[in-house]
């Protein structure tokens, strides 16, 4: 697929114990259907050709011969298809039987990977039938397929991905084979399993899959035995799970009798970025080097399969915002706590007992004020030490001014009001600017006057100015240089605009008074504006930020994938098309993505001298931390990619 995606499927078909022909027919039917859906790699359960619960029949030459005949049929059925399949089959070699994963593609068996760790406890006695493949590394003859490698040290090139294989119990060991397979280059790990079900086991298994995919910075495709396995002593529910770097992308419903099939598109480019970005990953790869691995090139990528029927993974349109209601309270409390912790340390170090914040009745200053109030509470300082300053200007509306005052009154902070109009008019006269010309000078003069007032009040009270600007504004450069761009500590620098809105609404839900709750909710519903241009005739906000620079939900989406994974504009555009399908058309997305790219590059100089402030999420724009970029870098190549 294009843009570094690999389409994978985890399949748990029904089986008939020891009926290899019937099992092969079921597997072939699944493979054929998955190929039509553009699947690059399909993974079937452990011993799916025979069923896992054959017991001592694994010693039967009849079963072993039938299994190889069935594997031949499966391999032949893939002739002319794009898909690569991995199926479980017992293989006899030199009077030993190995529990193997067979990789088949385009009419051939491309490799056999034996199970390394065989359980021999409780109801599992695999050592009774199978030999560990830990030491075997041979080329074995398989009839029409010729010599086929049999080894645990195989990597398979499927599309743009490198696939490593482990089997069931291998995952449960202290050092799973997948750890070293990943260090050897595998970015997709597949696990053919026959894990039975007992109380609580699935939850633990799910956490194993999630954690191993994160630890390996890899995709993990897990398929386990299901309906049809013998229930003499055990029960198998059939599991199909696909994870990527710590996140479950898809998982099947349990306890149904039909085949379980889960399909997802793995983002190999994102995995590669994280591995490049993690110096410890490279160091571990060197430290844990464990001999040679043999690479088997199986299939090339299918350019026609790109986004076949739409990308088969959910693309969150608001990647900075908690995705489920269950996460809301815990996540919001954690974010606020991070901001409070950073600010509390700065106040403690400077011995400041007073802070000054410009309160506009907008989202950012509201969040900064709420953080300041919690910080003062944590330090045992009276909230009267928080000086909230409203500074009405030419664009201030009654709604924002009322909300600012109401919120400050509800919080019990010190309120000051200083109109900037007289000073700015004098400034216009001093520099010879016509106040009827509403250009950048008209706007920035107001922003810088407000900053001067805040700084001077802070000096007079022995305090510091708290910055209110958020990460989205920093990305776009939507701040007046040496105006609202400056402060002694910026509590919101790690919080993007979509998350600011979310936090303010959450703060309203836990507000102790109706007055505070009402003010917070109305602030969240107020159009975003710097209020630097005169209001409309009926007193409404005339200058709406999102009309000028674009919707913040789009810009935050662009920002996340630019910073978190370093994706190209073309790939971000495709992801945005899926995430915002039905909300924005292609022309609109491309227009604002172009704006984002252009402004992101041209406004780096403002970020190069950014005040201190806490990082709260996976990305930030601090020039001392996550983002170090020259101020004169060209955006030409990125804009060309978008075109």
Most confident of 111-125, 209-223, 245-259: 209-223
The reply to whether 301 and 202 lie within a common domain is yes
Q: Quick check: 307 pLDDT over 70?
A: no
590 is catalytic: no
CA 464 to chain centre: 36
100, 115, 260, 473: the catalytic one is 115
The pLDDT assigned to 326 comes to 65
The reply to whether 331 and 454 lie within a common domain is yes
The pLDDT assigned to 409 comes to 98
What DSSP line would sit under 457-523, residue for residue? Answer: HHHHHT-EEEE---HHHHHHT-S-TTTTT--SEETTTT--HHHHHHHHHHHHHT-SSHHHHHHHHHH
Rounded mean pLDDT, 593-603: 97
Q: Report the CATH number that the domain containing residue 471 is assigned in CATH.
A: 3.40.50.620
Residue 61 lies in a domain: yes
Q: Quick check: 305 pLDDT over 60?
A: no
The structural domain count of the chain equals: 2
Q: Report the CATH number that the domain containing residue 66 is assigned in CATH.
A: 3.60.110.10
Residue 577 lies in a domain: yes
Specify the pairing of strand 386-390 against strand 355-358.
parallel
Distance CA 258, CA 252 (A): 11
Residue 314 lies in a domain: no
609 is catalytic: no
The reply to whether 230 and 354 lie within a common domain is no
Residue 319 lies in a domain: no
Residue 296 lies in a domain: yes
The reply to whether 290 and 360 lie within a common domain is no
Rounded mean pLDDT, 368-397: 96
Q: Which of 272, 305, 338 is the last residue of a domain?
A: 305
The pLDDT assigned to 126 comes to 87
The first and second tokens of residue 67, run together, are 């299994």
Q: pLDDT > 90: what percent of the chain? A: 79
Instruction: Give the residue from 347, 324, 185 showing the smallest Cα distance to 268.
Output: 185
Beta-ladder partners of 349? none
Residue 85 lies in a domain: yes
The pLDDT assigned to 207 comes to 94
20, 30, 46, 473: the catalytic one is 46
> Which pairs count as long-range contacts for 310-314, CB under 8 Å and 24+ apart, including other chains?
310/578, 311/5, 311/265, 311/574, 311/575, 311/578, 312/7, 312/263, 312/264, 312/265, 313/249, 313/250, 313/264, 313/265, 313/267, 314/249
The pLDDT assigned to 618 comes to 87
Cβ distance 75 to 107 under 8 Å?
Answer: yes
Cβ distance 265 to 5 under 8 Å?
Answer: yes
The reply to whether 282 and 411 lie within a common domain is no
Q: pLDDT > 70: what percent of the chain? A: 95
Q: Is 356 helix (H, G, I), strand (E, B) or coil?
A: strand
* Range in 133-137, 408-412, 533-537 the model is least confident about: 533-537
Q: How would residue 144 be classed by pLDDT, with cut points 50, 70 and 90?
A: confident
Q: Quick check: 471 pLDDT over 60?
A: yes
Mean pLDDT, the chain, rounded, equals: 92
Q: Quick check: 266 pLDDT over 70?
A: yes
Q: How would residue 225 be classed by pLDDT, with cut points 50, 70 and 90?
A: confident
Residue 317 lies in a domain: no
Rounded mean pLDDT, 530-547: 71
The reply to whether 76 and 115 lie within a common domain is yes
Give the tens place of pLDDT for each residue, 41-91: 999 999 999 998 898 999 999 999 999 999 999 999 999 999 999 999 999
Cβ distance 538 to 454 under 8 Å?
Answer: no
The pLDDT assigned to 53 comes to 85
Rounded mean pLDDT, 557-570: 96
Q: Quick check: 479 pLDDT over 70?
A: yes
Give the tens place of pLDDT for each residue, 336-362: 999 999 999 999 999 999 999 999 999
The reply to whether 292 and 362 lie within a common domain is no
Which domain does 166 fall in, by range?
Answer: 2-305
Can you tell me which residue has the tokens 């000096």?
Answer: 459
The reply to whether 267 and 336 lie within a common domain is no
The reply to whether 243 and 376 lie within a common domain is no
Q: Which of 277, 305, 333 is the last residue of a domain?
A: 305
The pLDDT assigned to 197 comes to 75
The reply to whether 299 and 331 lie within a common domain is no
* Range in 115-124, 243-252, 450-459 the model is least confident about: 115-124
20, 30, 168, 352: the catalytic one is 168
Q: Quick check: 532 pLDDT over 70?
A: no
Distance CA 188, CA 264 (A): 12
Q: Which of 305, 340, 367 is the last residue of a domain?
A: 305
Residue 316 lies in a domain: no
- DSSP tag of 616: -
Can you tell me which residue has the tokens 């049809």?
Answer: 228
Give the tens place of pLDDT for each residue, 487-531: 999 999 999 999 999 999 999 999 999 999 999 999 999 887 776
115 is catalytic: yes
Q: In terms of C-beta density within 10 A (0-12 exposed, 13-18 middle, 19 or more buried), how is residue 209 classed?
A: buried
Beta-ladder partners of 161? 158
The larger pLDDT score, comparing residue 212 to residue 545, is at 212
Beta-ladder partners of 357? 388
The reply to whether 386 and 285 lie within a common domain is no
The reply to whether 298 and 386 lie within a common domain is no
């Amino acid at each position: 697929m294009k843009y570094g995606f690999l389409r994978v499927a985890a399949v748990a078909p029904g089986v008939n114990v020891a009926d290899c022909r019937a099992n092969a027919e079921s597997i072939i039917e699944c493979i054929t259907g998955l190929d039509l859906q553009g699947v690059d790699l399909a993974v079937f359960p452990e011993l799916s050709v025979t069923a896992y619960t054959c017991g001592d029949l694994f010693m039967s030459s009849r079963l072993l011969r039938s299994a190889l005949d069935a594997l031949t049929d499966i391999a032949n059925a893939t002739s002319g298809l794009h898909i690569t399949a991995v199926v479980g089959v017992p293989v006899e070699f030199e009077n030993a039987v190995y529990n193997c994963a067979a990789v088949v593609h385009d009419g051939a068996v491309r490799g056999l990977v034996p199970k390394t760790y065989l359980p021999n406890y409780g109801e599992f006695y695999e050592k009774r039938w199978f030999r560990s493949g830990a030491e075997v590394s041979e080329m074995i003859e398989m009839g029409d397929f010729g010599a086929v490698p049999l080894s645990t040290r195989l990597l398979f090139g499927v599309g743009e991905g490198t696939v490593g294989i482990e089997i069931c119990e291998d995952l449960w060991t202290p050092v799973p084979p997948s750890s070293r397979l990943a260090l050897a280059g595998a970015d997709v790990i597949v696990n053919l399993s026959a894990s039975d079900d007992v109380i609580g086991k699935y939850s633990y298994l799910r956490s194993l899959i999630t954690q191993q995919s994160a630890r390996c910075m890899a995709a993990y495709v897990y398929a386990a035995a299901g309906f049809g396995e013998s229930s003499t002593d055990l029960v198998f529910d059939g599991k199909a799970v696909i994870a990527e770097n710590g996140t479950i992308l898809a998982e099947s419903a349990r306890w149904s009798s039909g085949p379980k099939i889960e399909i997802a598109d793995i983002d190999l480019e994102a995995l590669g970025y994280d591995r490049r970005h993690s110096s410890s990953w490279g160091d571990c790869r060197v430290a844990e080097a464990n001999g040679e691995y043999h690479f088997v090139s199986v299939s090339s990528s299918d350019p026609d399969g790109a986004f076949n029927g739409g990308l088969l993974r959910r693309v969150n349109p608001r990647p900075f915002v908690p995705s489920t209601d269950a996460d809301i309270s815990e996540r919001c409390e954690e974010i606020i706590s991070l901001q409070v912790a950073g600010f509390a340390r700065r106040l403690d170090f400077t011995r400041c007992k007073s802070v000054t914040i410009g309160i506009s009745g907008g989202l950012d200053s509201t969040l900064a004020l709420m953080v300041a109030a919690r910080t003062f509470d944590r330090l045992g300082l009276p909230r009267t030490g928080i000086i909230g300053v409203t500074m009405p200007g030419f664009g201030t509306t009654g709604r924002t001014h009322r909300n600012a005052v109401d919120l400050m009154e509800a919080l019990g902070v010190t309120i000051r009001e200083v109109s900037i109009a007289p000073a700015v008019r004098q400034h216009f006269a001093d520099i010879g600017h016509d106040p009827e010309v509403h250009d950048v000078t008209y706007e920035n003069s107001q922003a810088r006057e407000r900053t001067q007032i805040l700084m001077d009040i802070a000096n007079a009270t022995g305090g510091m100015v708290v910055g209110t600007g958020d990460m989205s504004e920093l990305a776009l450069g939507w701040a007046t240089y040496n105006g609202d761009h400056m402060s002694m500590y910026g509590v919101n620098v790690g919080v993007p605009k979509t998350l600011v809105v979310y936090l303010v609404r959450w703060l309203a839900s836990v507000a102790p008074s109706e007055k505070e709750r009402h003010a917070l909710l109305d602030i969240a519903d107020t159009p975003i504006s710097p209020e630097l241009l005169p209001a409309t005739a009926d007193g409404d906000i005339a200058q709406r930020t999102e009309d000028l620079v674009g919707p913040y939900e789009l810009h935050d989406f662009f920002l996340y994938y630019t910073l978190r994974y370093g994706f190209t504009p073309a790939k971000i555009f495709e992801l945005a098309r899926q995430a915002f399908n039905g909300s924005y058309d292609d022309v609109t997305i491309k227009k604002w993505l172009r704006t984002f790219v252009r402004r992101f590059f041209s406004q780096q100089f403002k970020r190069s001298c950014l005040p201190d402030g806490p990082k709260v999420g996976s990305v930030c724009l601090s020039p001392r931390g996550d983002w170090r970029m020259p101020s004169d870098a060209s955006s030409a190549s990125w804009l060309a990619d978008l075109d």
